[in-house]
């Protein structure tokens, strides 16, 4: 069953929290044998909000997706499994999300197959945190090169947080899409 709010979660074996932007209370989590979070960071590094977006902006070419027990504080639970996805550097927002979601589905399949026998591992190391992104985080500097800002352009959510720049007292939004490979010289 797919639910959009924790209040709709009635109970069962597994509750997966995918792209969840609400804190799910212990009362709700206790309705399930296991409540699992899918988080796009190599925990404990990258706790917090929009970790895969921040990592692409930082220039990372791979992203680890962690499957972990839901716990308090957020993103601190024991790790069930991790999966790494590789980026080539040209993927745009929707393509990056497709890669992340495909890895999350594989991790959910793993959890459904192994939940009765899994022995999760405690997180080790010093945690780092990402803050929540805001529309201001998609601002492009019109004086800088596109190449220098490409990672920011490629992860800007075109609907909620489109890339933009300010110039001559006006705000201009930027959209980006792939057209052809760079070495393509003829129309096909």
- Are both 88 and 158 inside the same structural domain? no
- Are both 17 and 109 inside the same structural domain? yes
- Are both 76 and 150 inside the same structural domain? no
Asked if the structure places residue 180 within a domain, the reply is: no
User: What was the pLDDT predicted at 11?
Assistant: 83
Domain that holds residue 147: 135-174
- Are both 85 and 112 inside the same structural domain? yes
Asked if the structure places residue 165 within a domain, the reply is: yes
- pLDDT per residue over 127-163, tens digit each? 999 999 999 999 999 999 999 999 999 999 998 889 9
| pLDDT surpasses 70 at 188 | no
- Are both 11 and 91 inside the same structural domain? yes
User: What was the pLDDT predicted at 8?
Assistant: 78
Asked if the structure places residue 181 within a domain, the reply is: no
- Are both 50 and 86 inside the same structural domain? yes
Instruction: Taking each helix axis as running N to C, give the angle between helix 146-155 and helix 93-114, from 0 to 180 degrees, rounded to the nearest 10.
Output: 40
CA separation, residue 68 to residues 17, 72, 75, 104, 105 (Å):
10, 12, 8, 12, 14
Q: What pTM did the predictor assign?
A: 0.89
Count the domains in the chain. 2
- pLDDT per residue over 25-53, tens digit each? 889 899 999 999 999 999 999 999 999 99
Instruction: Taking each helix axis as running N to C, give the angle between helix 93-114 and helix 51-58, from 0 to 180 degrees, rounded to the nearest 10.
Output: 130
- pLDDT per residue over 55-110, tens digit each? 999 999 999 999 999 999 999 999 999 999 999 999 999 999 999 999 999 999 99
Asked if the structure places residue 27 within a domain, the reply is: yes
- Are both 144 and 125 inside the same structural domain? no
- Are both 26 and 109 inside the same structural domain? yes
């Amino acid at each position: 069953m797919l639910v959009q709010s924790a209040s709709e979660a009635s109970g069962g074996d597994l509750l997966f929290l995918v792209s969840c932007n609400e804190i799910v209370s212990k009362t709700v989590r206790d309705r399930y044998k296991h409540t699992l979070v899918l988080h796009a960071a190599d925990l404990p590094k990258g706790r917090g909000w929009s970790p895969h977006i921040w990592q692409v902006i930082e220039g990372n070419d791979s992203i680890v997706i962690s499957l972990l027990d839901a716990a308090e504080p957020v993103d601190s639970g024991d790790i069930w499994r991790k999966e790494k996805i590789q980026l080539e550097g040209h993927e745009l927002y929707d393509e990056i999300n497709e890669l992340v979601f495909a890895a999350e589905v594989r991790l959910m399949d793993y959890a459904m197959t192994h939940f009765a026998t899994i022995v999760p591992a405690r997180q080790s190391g010093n945690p780092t945190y990402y803050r929540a992104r805001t529309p201001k985080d998609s601002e492009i500097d019109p004086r800088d090169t596109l190449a220098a800002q490409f990672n920011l352009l490629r992860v800007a959510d075109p609907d909620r947080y489109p890339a933009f720049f300010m110039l001559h007292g006006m705000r201009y939004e930027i959209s980006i899409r792939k057209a052809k490979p760079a070495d393509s010289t003829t129309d096909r």
